[in-house]
Structure 1
Amino acid sequence: MGHDPHSSSSEPDLYRDTWVRYLGYANEVGESFRALVPKSLVWATYGVATAYVSADAVDKGKKASKAHSDDPDKTARVTVAVVDTFVWQALASVAIPGFTINRICAASLYLMGRVTRWPLPIRKWTTTAIGLSAIPFIITPIDRSVDYLLDSSLRKLYSTHSSTPENSRST
Structure 2
Amino acid sequence: MDPTDEKTPKPVDIYRDTWVRFLGYANEVGEAFRALVPVSLVWGSYAVATTYVTADAVDKGKKAAKVSSHTTRVAVAVVDTFVWQALASVIIPGFTINRVCAASLYVLGRTTKLPLPVRKWTTTAIGLSTIPFIITPIDRSVDFLLDSSLRKLYGEGEKHE
After superposition, the CA RMSD in angstroms is 1.0
CA change 1:131–1:96 in 2 (3 A) is same
Alignment of 1:48-67 (within 5 A): 48-67=48-67
Match of 2:24 in 1: 24
Which structure has the bigger radius of gyration? 2
TM-score of the aligned structures, taking structure 1 as reference length: 0.88
Query: Where does the alignment leave 5 or more consecutive residues of structure 1 unmatched?
Result: 1-8
Structure 1 runs of 4+ off > 6 angstroms? none
Query: Where does the alignment leave 5 or more consecutive residues of structure 2 unmatched?
Result: 1-8
Match of 1:47 in 2: 47
Contact 2:97–2:130 under 8 Å retained in 1: yes
For 1:93, give the aligned amino acid. Answer: S
> How many angstroms does 1:68 deviate by?
1.2
Instruction: Give the whole-Å Cα distance in 1 for the aligned partners of 2:99 and 2:80.
Output: 27
Tell me which of the two structures has the higher relative contact order, counting C-alpha pairs closer than 8 angstroms and 6 or more residues apart. 1
> How many angstroms does 1:12 deviate by?
1.1
State the identity %: 76
> How many angstroms does 1:10 deviate by?
1.8
Match of 1:102 in 2: 98
Alignment of 1:1-171 (within 5 A): 10-69=10-69, 74-159=70-155, 163-168=156-161
Contact 2:15–2:21 under 8 Å retained in 1: yes
For 1:21, give the aligned amino acid. Answer: R
Higher helix share: 2
